[in-house]
Amino acid sequence: MPSRALGGDAPSEREGVATHCAYCGLQCAMTLTGTSAADLTVSPRRFPTNRGGLCQKGWTSAELLRTPGRLTTPLVRREGELVPASWDDALDIVADGIVRTQTAYGHDSVAVFGGGGLTNEKAYQLGKFARVALRTSQIDYNGRWCMSSAAAAGIRCFGLDRGLPFPVTDIGSAHAVLLLGANPAETMPPFLTHLVRAADAGGLMVADPRLTPTASKAIDGGGLHLQLRPGTDAALALGMVHLAVTEGYADRRFIHERTSGFDDLWPIAAQWLPERVERVTGVAVTTMRAAVAALARARDTERGAYILSARGTEQHASGTDTVTAFIALALALGLPGNPGTGFGTITGQGNGQGGREHGQKADQLPGYRKIDDPAARAHVAAVWGVDPDDLPGPGRSAFELLSALGTDGGARVLMVHGSNPVVSAPDARAVSERLAALDLLVVSDFVLSETAAIADVVLPVLQWAEEEGTLTNLEGRVLRRRRALTAPEGCRSELDVWSDLAARIGCSTDFPTDPRVVFDELRRASAGGPADYSAVTWDRLDAGESLHWPCSTERPQGTPRLFLDRFATPDGLARFVPVDHVGPAEADDTAYPLVATTGRVLQHYQSGAQTRLVAELTAAAGEMFVQVHPDTAESVGLADGDLADVVSRRGRTRAAVRVDEDMRPDVVFLPFHWGGDARANSLTHAALDPTSRMPEFKACAVRLEAVA
């Protein structure tokens, strides 16, 4: 059994509670010390993912436990205003609304929207609550905005979706790492410790339209920045496959023995001559050639080579095909399924991985089972004690669910748990209109997010350090979240909320409220599924064992490294899938001549609902900005610091101009952490990927206007 010294996860012997960060999928380990929210302090703890480091969000995470913005009483809307109410009154309103609406319009008239920040226990219970208590098919979650394209590509090519199919520490010894649309210097700063070796060896390579802090690190070490035009990643991938083959870097033996479909993909890649790729992407042929050579060299000298994708490459209407094309590059080079090399995706949210395994996705049952698979339905229905025929079928994906609200055939009641779609959804103005058209919007949160602010009922729930549970991090490793504090009086666990509501609407199924009991049920429900947790127990986690799923009675030690013997496809071979480059769904033209792309800054998390309440973070990054090349700014009469409107076919966003010589002149960048006039998602559009239903957050056509 791995000991603490090896990076296990046992409670600290020191005073204090050993837990993990409130925010992202790296799930840095920390110790919380203190007896009340007022005096709780955070200190980093050594753990493989963070090696004793934290980012500024992690360091300041306890601030949110004592924010004056904390909700401590239910709110209900009376005469247009949100006013305090008792839990009994608030839950009665919700239960009444559900029963009345379902009686009149059927089960699917009530919808649920979840989040990748929920613990495994809550994600599981939310899926069960929707299918068994509400009997609705209308459930999806914000992970659809996040990892869905990479997940779809992973399933397509490897037969399984686990973000990193190897421990993150494996990357630490690699001499070549190609990062695709990932900016971990801001989005997961402690992750950089795993890239030091590659950076020092001149083998860190970053494909990003911007010279990010991550790309700067690559260049400083003698590595590469592939500064492509947004949405041209698939062309880059196919061009690199082309070069891998024509320059003699392809691993013929691996392709022959461990993959299928190369002959279907090659005719497409053959068309992507490097010069053509340079014209489409803007990346010089010499840079592409150097990148492929660096990966092959590191592989051949057994110094480790990895290709890692993140949202820049994935959040496109062709994101699944784009990731598929980069997996083809990895397969052509023989990287996946071998020790010391690989392909992975950097999962984003705190429980981004676990959140997409246990059934809050429209087409899914626990254990990453498919809801339209009769055997999966029978297994899960038996655990739940219901008739498989009573389980609903697949529902709508996130944007489709939200955009149908209040329409004929769409839901009229929505319950939101762990998301702030008024700020974070694509084409957010249109989504906000649909939310306003609901008969009843119920938001569970611990702060008054922009979505909670327009709700009819707001339920104050527990946050991070006030609850027990588990999360599954970006490596598929299950972790314990531990309670350090008692929640303020008036707040309740979501497990209590679902149990209470199920009873109020007349559902006889038991919804346990003890997370440990819920986890035991999750283990049984996931047993035999792709994400099998059956041998994971809280006792084993508390003893410091490092358990990566699948972890079953056949594999009680868990599976840190997947695919070493075979891929998870029926024939055990990884698949080359024939895909081509299509480019962004919205073309730029004379009225909207620039491509806007969006993303993150270090200090703020997601919709900003949490981090905008932390004084140190808003002091460091308080203002919405748009990053622009100086020539582009000047062409519309804008200078650094001026206020500008960024305008798309759907709306406008007000932002301070941040002039940056390293920007491409044809691209502007906006963070999406603010609402109101400063909401980046007023610009974006919801062209959806045909497979994953991921919207195109990373490219839309805009123009800049000076604000008088």
Site for ligand SF4, rule CB under 6 A: 21, 23-24, 26-28, 50, 54-55, 57-58, 188-190
Name the nearest CA neighbour of 547 among 446, 459, 477, 617: 477
698 contacts ligand MGD (rule: CB under 6 A): yes
Q: Which CB atom, from 21 or from 346, has the smaller least distance to ligand SF4?
A: 21
For residue 604, give Cα distances in angstroms to 65, 242, 614, 682.
Answer: 16, 39, 9, 19
Binding-residue pattern over the window 208 to 237 for Mo ion, x denoting contact by CB under 5 A: ------------------------------
Are the CB atoms for 170 and 192 separated by under 8 Å?
no
Question: 295 to 354, contacts with Mo ion by CB under 5 A?
Answer: 348
422 contacts Mo ion (rule: CB under 5 A): no
CA dihedral of residues 147, 151, 154, 157 (deg, nearest 10)? -120
Q: Which CB atom, from 189 or from 530, has the smaller least distance to ligand MGD?
A: 189
345 contacts ligand MGD (rule: CB under 6 A): no
410 contacts ligand MGD (rule: CB under 6 A): no
445 contacts ligand MGD (rule: CB under 6 A): yes
Minimal distance, residue 459 CB to ligand MGD, in Å: 8
449 contacts ligand MGD (rule: CB under 6 A): yes
For residue 375, give Cα distances in angstroms to 350, 365, 369, 389.
Answer: 31, 11, 9, 12
679 contacts ligand MGD (rule: CB under 6 A): no
- The partner in contact with residue 58, picked from Mo ion, ligand SF4, ligand MGD, none with C-beta cut-offs of 5 to 8 angstroms by kind, is ligand SF4
607 contacts ligand MGD (rule: CB under 6 A): yes
The single residue among 368, 511, 672, 674 that binds ligand MGD, judged by CB under 6 A, is 672
Q: How far apart are CA 626 and CA 247, in angstroms?
A: 40
- Strands 305-309 and 341-345 come out as parallel
Binding-residue pattern over the window 113 to 152 for ligand MGD, x denoting contact by CB under 6 A: --xxxx-----------------------x--xx------
354 contacts ligand MGD (rule: CB under 6 A): no
Q: How far apart are CA 707 and CA 704, in angstroms?
A: 10
Name the nearest CA neighbour of 342 among 157, 201, 200: 157
The single residue among 9, 140, 233, 532 that binds ligand MGD, judged by CB under 6 A, is 233
Q: Which amino acid is at 54?
A: L
The single residue among 599, 646, 675, 682 that binds ligand MGD, judged by CB under 6 A, is 599
Are the CB atoms for 128 and 672 separated by under 8 Å?
no
Q: Which CB atom, from 12 or from 513, has the smaller least distance to ligand SF4?
A: 12
Question: 168 to 187, contacts with ligand MGD by CB under 6 A?
Answer: 180-184, 186-187
- The partner in contact with residue 115, picked from Mo ion, ligand SF4, ligand MGD, none with C-beta cut-offs of 5 to 8 angstroms by kind, is ligand MGD
Name the nearest CA neighbour of 119 among 321, 359, 350: 350
- The partner in contact with residue 233, picked from ligand SF4, Mo ion, ligand MGD, none with C-beta cut-offs of 5 to 8 angstroms by kind, is ligand MGD
- The partner in contact with residue 163, picked from Mo ion, ligand MGD, ligand SF4, none with C-beta cut-offs of 5 to 8 angstroms by kind, is none
CA dihedral of residues 311, 314, 316, 317 (deg, nearest 10)? -150
Q: Which CB atom, from 57 or from 258, has the smaller least distance to ligand SF4?
A: 57
- How much is the CA Rg of the chain, to the nearest whole Å? 24
- The partner in contact with residue 186, picked from ligand MGD, Mo ion, ligand SF4, none with C-beta cut-offs of 5 to 8 angstroms by kind, is ligand MGD
Q: Quote the DSSP letter at residue 578.
A: -
- The partner in contact with residue 189, picked from ligand MGD, ligand SF4, Mo ion, none with C-beta cut-offs of 5 to 8 angstroms by kind, is ligand SF4
Give the chain's length.
Answer: 708
Q: Which CB atom, from 504 or from 600, has the smaller least distance to ligand MGD?
A: 600
Question: 162 to 201, contacts with Mo ion by CB under 5 A?
Answer: none
Minimal distance, residue 299 CB to ligand MGD, in Å: 22
Name the β-bridge partners of 399. Answer: none
349 contacts ligand MGD (rule: CB under 6 A): yes
Are the CB atoms for 226 and 240 separated by under 8 Å?
no
Q: Which CB atom, from 527 or from 620, has the smaller least distance to ligand MGD?
A: 620
Minimal distance, residue 162 CB to ligand SF4, in Å: 18
Minimal distance, residue 662 CB to ligand SF4, in Å: 24
The tokens describing 155, both together, are 């399933």
The single residue among 21, 146, 283, 329 that binds Mo ion, judged by CB under 5 A, is 146
Minimal distance, residue 447 CB to ligand SF4, in Å: 17
251 CB burial (10 A radius; 0-12, 13-18, 19+): buried
Between vectors from CA 207 to CA 205 and to CA 211, what angle results, nearest 5°? Answer: 90
Q: Which CB atom, from 190 or from 410, has the smaller least distance to ligand SF4?
A: 190
What distance, in Å, lies between the first and last C-alpha atoms of the chain? Answer: 66
Instruction: For residue 155, count other CB atoms closer than 10 A to its CB.
Output: 18
Q: How far apart are CA 520 and CA 202, in angstroms?
A: 47
Are the CB atoms for 692 and 320 separated by under 8 Å?
yes
Region from 35-43, 207-215, 360-368, 533-541 binding ligand MGD, contact rule CB under 6 A: 207-215
Minimal distance, residue 125 CB to ligand MGD, in Å: 12
Minimal distance, residue 310 CB to ligand MGD, in Å: 3
- The partner in contact with residue 190, picked from ligand MGD, ligand SF4, Mo ion, none with C-beta cut-offs of 5 to 8 angstroms by kind, is ligand SF4
Q: Which CB atom, from 58 or from 476, has the smaller least distance to ligand SF4?
A: 58
Helix residue ranges per DSSP H, 405-510: 421-424, 428-436, 450-453, 494-504
The single residue among 212, 281, 287, 470 that binds ligand MGD, judged by CB under 6 A, is 212
- With helix as H, strand as E and coil as C, how does 512-576 read? CCCHHHHHHHHHHHHCCCCCCCCCCCHHHHHCCCCEECCCCCCCCCCCCCCCCCCCCCCCCCEEC
- The partner in contact with residue 28, picked from ligand SF4, Mo ion, ligand MGD, none with C-beta cut-offs of 5 to 8 angstroms by kind, is ligand SF4
Q: Site size for ligand MGD, by CB under 6 A? A: 64
Minimal distance, residue 243 CB to ligand MGD, in Å: 18
678 contacts ligand MGD (rule: CB under 6 A): no
- With helix as H, strand as E and coil as C, how does 336-348 read? CCCCCEEEEECCC
Q: Quote the DSSP letter at residue 70.
A: B
The tokens describing 509, both together, are 């199924």
The tokens describing 425, both together, are 């959804």
587 CB burial (10 A radius; 0-12, 13-18, 19+): exposed
Cβ neighbours for 183, distance < 8 A, ≥ 6 positions apart: 208, 212, 213, 214, 215, 310, 312, 599, 600
The single residue among 7, 9, 19, 24 that binds ligand MGD, judged by CB under 6 A, is 24
Q: Which CB atom, from 386 or from 487, has the smaller least distance to ligand MGD?
A: 487
Q: Which CB atom, from 47 or from 511, has the smaller least distance to ligand SF4?
A: 47
Are the CB atoms for 245 and 269 separated by under 8 Å?
yes
Q: How far apart are CA 123 and CA 139, in angstroms?
A: 11
Q: Which CB atom, from 128 or from 303, has the smaller least distance to ligand MGD?
A: 128
Residues of this chain that interact with ligand MGD (CB under 6 A) are 24, 115-118, 142, 145-146, 180-184, 186-188, 207-210, 212, 228, 230-231, 233, 310-313, 315, 348-349, 417-420, 423-424, 444-447, 449, 461, 494, 597-600, 602, 604-607, 609-610, 669, 672, 680-681, 684, 697-699
